[in-house]
Structure 1
């Protein structure tokens, strides 16, 4: 299903995201140089996706899920943006965030249909949250407005 994405009310892109069904597998490298492969994770996985870690809402989203990750060891939390690993490392060091953050090389964004095709964030990922259990996408929230935060409580509830 094609979805329009806005930034401060202005249409900036159309995407065709995965929202249910079999979760596309991916392998991305974390900030310690370890490969993380979705299909090898055994716990429920909450995937937080954002366009640019160096912006206010992306920062808030990542900090929020960092706090939740510390409280919920029964869930694997993955945060994904297409910032470089160095940009992500610098941000984490400055903000005191210690969670699994992955730099998308385009593999994830293409597989999940999340790459913005226009506007000031062209080529970036659409803000979204997924919960994957047993290889299936059981929850997805694709934010139509990039400047809004996701529904944290609904995402966490879906992991149960």
Structure 2
């Protein structure tokens, strides 16, 4: 069972696995524009964080954006944070190339990827790599939400995706 700070959490939604067709979703950008998976053609690394205002989430977002920028494709960071908080974080962090998506409105992403922590209404820390054909190539759901993801394994999968 997944945990958050040692407390068991229930994940809602439909978990995905390698080989699945990536589920579509609707989310909001920091400019309050509605986007879907199709809004980002090519390969994608989707980094999911509980809240951008925490140290582990900040580290995850910075690491993927710094290390993956040379690998082509798009890196998306998804959370239930409000778009305004995401925009504030981007400005404060000095990262201009971060694509932040907010799933706060209807948890479309969370339900499609099985990452909604029912007890907290936050997204479970996870990583997904989707190739340009829309096939899931890598999935990592964390057992403990306060721990860091396996950056190397995710970046290796992202680099190998076409």
Above 0.5 in TM-score? Answer: yes
Partner of 1:131: 129
Determine the structure 1 residue equivalent to 2:157.
158
Give the CA deviation at 1:33.
Answer: 4.2
Provide, for residues 72-95 of structure 1, a one-character-per-residue CA deviation record: whole Å limited to 9, x for no partner.
3x1211100010000111111111
3-state SS of 2:145 partner: coil
**Structure 1 residue runs of 4+, over 3 Å off?**
32-36
SS in 1 for 2:10: strand
For structure 2, the residue ranges without an aligned partner over 5 or more in a row are none
Structure 2 partner of 1:112: 113
Name the Cα RMSD after superposition.
1.7
Q: Which runs of 5+ in 1 are unaligned?
A: none
Q: Which residue of 2 aligns with 1:149?
A: 148
Q: CA deviation at 1:35?
A: 4.0
TM-score (norm 2): 0.86
**In structure 1, distance between residues paired with 2:108 and 2:11:** 18
TM-fit CA distance, 1:68: 2.2
Distance 1:29 1:69, change over 3 A: farther
Aligned mates of 1:139, 1:103 — CA distance in 2: 22
Q: Distance in 2 between matches of 1:9 and 1:33?
A: 34
Q: Kindly tell me the number of residue pairs found equivalent between the two proteins.
A: 153
Matched, 1:96 2:97: no
1:39-78 equivalent positions in 2, closer than 5 A: 39-72=38-71, 74-78=72-76
